[in-house]
Amino acid sequence: MKREKLKVGIVGLGRLGKEYAKNLMFKINNADLIAACSLVDEELRFAKEVLGVPYLFSSYTEMLQLPELEAIYVVSSTDQHADHMIMALESGKHVFSEKPLALDTEECYRVKSVVDDNPELTAVVGFVRRYDQSYLYAKRKVDAGDIGEPFMVRSQTVDKDSIADFQMNYVLKSGGIFHDFNVHDIDLARWFLNAEFTSVHAIGGAFKHKGFGDLGDADNVMTTCTFDNGSMAVINASRTGAHGHDTYTEVVGTEGTLRIGRPSYKNRVEIYDQYGARKECVATFWERFDEAFLLMAKDFIDCILDGRKPELSINDAIKATEVANAFTQSFRASKIVHL
């Protein structure tokens, strides 16, 4: 049955923000995207001309004063996620934020305190892979005991190599490869193993783009992890994938193994030519996860309209940041870090 629509606003209309806004406007039938906020002219023009959003703002504070607004999607830059969540909650709006919650733990706890003070509001940080049909299917199989007791996760986030020099500085803003790439794998490991990290050990280097090394970061890393229930994981990240974006997770249990996303094929077409028998791979995380982004944005609205608690809690977001920090610390100090 068609329901009332939730009135939503969005802050941040960069590459990913635009996709969120298009989903909200064109593909989610119980949302009404009535407001958008950005400091960038081109982004507001997009909201007006391509989407037809009625209320446009260059001030986030002002947007929050729009009384009919019920919920906010935060797709601003990483360093603003926490503040934008807090401000939305304090204005009485439900709030969804792109990952990660923040780069340091203190900021995380600042958000948590506001979330705890507003139990009637829904606050979610989006770990999109939990909404992917293949990950969900695997999770159900694991929970049903189909692979016995899961005791090992191998997970990776690999981006197609398309690094230009100007991007090196963006690295600093996004918190480096562990925060930018591995928060997803960290969240998945907790989810599949149903356990918390106890120690991590990260190694890696700037094997192709030496510039990352100069900035204290890396282009390829791997981290071994132990968990409080005795299980273990190895988590990889790479900025230098030759074949495409390659998100891949393996869950190993005592009676079987599930592998999700290998190879990261683009579609159901197989090509036979002078290069052999081959499948093209997805180029970007968006191409891989566009459907999951839609389902995630939709689920937030459904939760609010149905008065249902989302599966993801603010605690999941805090854990991801804490563990990504431990990865970073281990990598920099070349030692095992205990949590």
From the CB of 107, what's the least distance to its own copies, in Å?
Answer: 30
Instruction: Please classify residue 254 by burial: count the beta carbons closer than 10 Å to its beta carbon, then call 0-12 exposed, 13-18 middle and 19+ buried.
Output: exposed
From the CB of 78, what's the least distance to its own copies, in Å?
Answer: 27
3-state secondary structure of 228: coil
From the CB of 177, what's the least distance to its own copies, in Å?
Answer: 14
Please state, in angstroms and rounded to a whole number, the distance separating the CA atoms of residues 200 and 189.
Answer: 13
Is 214 or 270 the residue whose CB approaches its own copies more closely? 270
Q: Are the C-beta atoms of residues 217 and 206 closer than 8 Å to each other?
A: yes
Is 11 or 237 the residue whose CB approaches its own copies more closely? 237
β-strand pairing of 232-241 with 31-37: unpaired
Is 76 or 226 the residue whose CB approaches its own copies more closely? 226
Is 147 or 177 the residue whose CB approaches its own copies more closely? 147
Cis peptide before 67 (omega within 30 of 0): no
Cis peptide before 54 (omega within 30 of 0): no
From the CB of 98, what's the least distance to its own copies, in Å?
Answer: 23
Residue 241 CB partners (closer than 8 Å, separation 6+): 158, 159, 160, 161
C-alpha distance from residue 300 to each of 122, 123, 137 (Å) = 8, 9, 20
From the CB of 148, what's the least distance to its own copies, in Å?
Answer: 8
Q: What are the backbone angles phi and psi of residue 130, rounded to the nearest 5°? A: -65, -10
Is 105 or 254 the residue whose CB approaches its own copies more closely? 254
From the CB of 159, what's the least distance to its own copies, in Å?
Answer: 14
From the CB of 84, what's the least distance to its own copies, in Å?
Answer: 26
How many Å is the maximal CA-CA distance in the chain? 62
Is 119 or 276 the residue whose CB approaches its own copies more closely? 276
From the CB of 121, what's the least distance to its own copies, in Å?
Answer: 26
Q: Are the C-beta atoms of residues 156 and 238 closer than 8 Å to each other?
A: yes
Please state, in angstroms and rounded to a whole number, the distance separating the CA atoms of residues 206 and 9.
Answer: 40
Is 78 or 264 the residue whose CB approaches its own copies more closely? 264
244 sits in the region (left: phi over 0; alpha: psi -120 to 50; else beta) called: left
From the CB of 317, what's the least distance to its own copies, in Å?
Answer: 25
Is 112 or 266 the residue whose CB approaches its own copies more closely? 266
Residue 77 has, within 13 A of its CA and on its CB side, a CA count of 10
Is 112 or 211 the residue whose CB approaches its own copies more closely? 211
Buried b (16+ CB within 10 A) or exposed e, 116-140: eebeebbbbbbbbbbbbeebeebbe
